Amino acid sequence: GAVVSQHPSRVICKSGTSVKIECRSLDFQATTMFWYRQFPKQSLMLMATSNEGSKATYEQGVEKDKFLINHASLTLSTLTVTSAHPEDSSFYICSAIGYGTEAFFGQGTRLTVV
């Protein structure tokens, strides 16, 4: 199957700093990428949908200025958590869809804000 690489897998940052998470489709062009947040022992919560070259569409309740999403190319989307606070600590997962119906998921990023 297709591969989606998410980096970093773990990151610890100080409160008030910004953190960037990358999501790359390695062997296909991703027309659409999704960013999810997962709380412990819970399901995935969709944060936003991004299409290459256009602004991301955020789900209700997700702060656009807090979670900046850029999808500059067909193989790369980034999520930047700005001015991170301890409540932003979570597991973030990206997924990508090419021209089929199957979504491929990254390995996830464990963000801890101290």
Binding to another protein in span 31-50, by CB under 8 A: 32, 34, 41-44, 46, 49
Judged by CB under 8 A, does residue 106 bind another protein? Answer: yes
Judged by CB under 8 A, does residue 6 bind another protein? Answer: yes
Residues β-bridged to residue 36? 46, 93
The C-alpha atoms of residue 105 and residue 96 are separated, in whole angstroms, by: 7
Smaller CB separation from another protein, 10 or 85:
10
Chain residues that interact with another protein, rule: CB under 8 A: 1, 4, 6, 32, 34, 41-44, 46, 49, 57, 91, 93, 95, 97, 101-108, 110
